[in-house]
Amino acid sequence: ETGVTQTPRHLVMGMTNKKSLKCEQHLGHNAMYWYKQSAKKPLELMFVYSLEERVENNSVPSRFSPECPNSSHLFLHLHTLQPEDSALYLCASSQESVRVGYGYTFGSGTRLTVV
């Protein structure tokens, strides 16, 4: 257990479905992130939440909708996805401070397949 828990581990959905990915961190961190990892590509940042407020959105399509109800929970709501959205979605957390120097802790990921 890494301290960051993601559910479900695997998800298969049709292009017309609506589903949600869940992330929970037990580390007392104040920032949470969604990353996407596609085959043969470096990890890409999707969303950043700091103190429950979204601070960065790296031009992610609107079919991905994040939600951060509190500092321990992060969701990624999915709707009308495309097959190219199939990837490993990773959640991470960190402790932001004036003295930046803390590392990131990642969850085990959700393997998403869009059919």
Partner 1 sequence: KQEVTQIPAALSVPEGENLVLNCSFTDSAIYNLQWFRQDPGKGLTSLLLIQSSQREQTSGRLNASLDKSSGRSTLYIAASQPGDSATYLCAVPSGSARQLTFGSGTQLTVLP
Residue from the set 17, 30, 50, 86 that interacts with partner 1 by CB under 8 A? 50
Q: Which is nearer to partner 1, 20 or 50 (CB)?
A: 50
Enclosing H/E stretch for 7 = strand 4-7
Q: Which residue has the tokens 């959205």?
A: 85
Residue 23's nearest CA partner among 64, 85, 66, 80 is 66
Dihedral sign computed on CA atoms, order 111, 75, 114, 60: negative
Please tell me the distance from the alpha carbon of residue 37 to that of residue 18, in angstroms, as a whole number: 21
Minimum distance, C-beta of residue 48 to partner 1, in the bound complex (Å): 5
Q: Which is nearer to partner 1, 24 or 79 (CB)?
A: 24
| Count of chain residues binding partner 1 (CB under 8 A) | 28
Q: Cα angle at 80 between 74 and 85, to 5 degrees?
A: 70
Residue from the set 11, 21, 48, 68 that interacts with partner 1 by CB under 8 A? 48
Residue from the set 45, 52, 86, 95 that interacts with partner 1 by CB under 8 A? 45
Please tell me the distance from the alpha carbon of residue 26 to that of residue 93, in angstroms, as a whole number: 10
Contact pattern from residue 53 through residue 92 relative to partner 1, giving x for each residue in contact according to CB under 8 A and a dash for the rest = --xx-x-----------------------------x-x-x
List residues binding partner 1 (CB under 8 A).
Answer: 2, 6, 31, 33, 35, 41-43, 45, 48, 50, 55-56, 58, 88, 90, 92, 96, 100-101, 103-109, 111
